[in-house]
Structure 1
Amino acid sequence: MIALQASHIYIDNTIADIIFKNIHYAYVTYLKEQKKILITPVSSQWFVKLYKPTQFLLKTKNIKGDKTLAIREILIDNDLDGTDRILEYEIIEKTRLIKISIE
């Protein structure tokens, strides 16, 4: 499960373990035309070449290993709805990428 809670992307530990393993920073970018937030570990150098991402601290939320990313600036800069809710997402394990639909 991935959700928006208090201007943070909340990533369930099962997803976080697959995508981030022991990495504590993520690259994040918002694709305005697709209305998607893309998230990948900072180890994904291909992502930097394709996009101009911002690096964010990936915080551990609880003992289970759920993670959060503070994305308030992305929400404000792009005039996005910051209402708490469950978000639709797609996981691409091969490239360790999370695509989140946000409108």
Structure 2
Amino acid sequence: MITKINLKNSHIYLDHELVEPIFGEIHYAYVTYVKEQGNILITPVSSQWFVKLYKPTQFLLKSRNLKGDKTLAIREILIDNDLDTTDRPLGYEIIEKTSLIKVNIS
């Protein structure tokens, strides 16, 4: 099963179809884990509202291939929050209005 977001080797793999409209040419993302929701929230560093609402960590969006797929190395979030590190597809929701990707990690 191919999904748009997967957890693999403590990295979140983001399909280029999700990355392009949300990140465009931005190569860094703010990422935070919201324990109450069981979600990892991902947004471009241009989203200043996100910094005011959460205390996110900045991550490099690494290019994986020529198509434009990207990855985020989230090992520290997984370890700090005692989350399952098993490789698997992840459910997600896109909030286009705020350029936010909510990834269900629980």
Moved over 2 A (4+): none
SS where residue 40 of structure 2 aligns?
strand
5+ long unaligned stretches in structure 1: none
Match 2:25 to one of 19, 22, 25: 22
* Correspondence 1:69-88 to 2 at 5 A: 69-88=72-91
Partner of 1:96: 99
Q: Percent identity?
A: 75
How much does 1:5 deviate?
0.6
5+ long unaligned stretches in structure 2: none
RMSD: 0.4
The total of aligned residue pairs comes to 103
- Name the CA distance, whole Å, in 2 between partners of 1:68 and 1:40: 13
- Name the CA distance, whole Å, in 2 between partners of 1:25 and 1:98: 14
SS where residue 80 of structure 1 aligns?
coil
Partner of 1:6: 9
Match 2:63 to one of 34, 55, 60: 60
Q: TM-score, normalised by structure 2?
A: 0.96
Amino acid at match of 1:7: S
How much does 1:94 deviate?
1.0
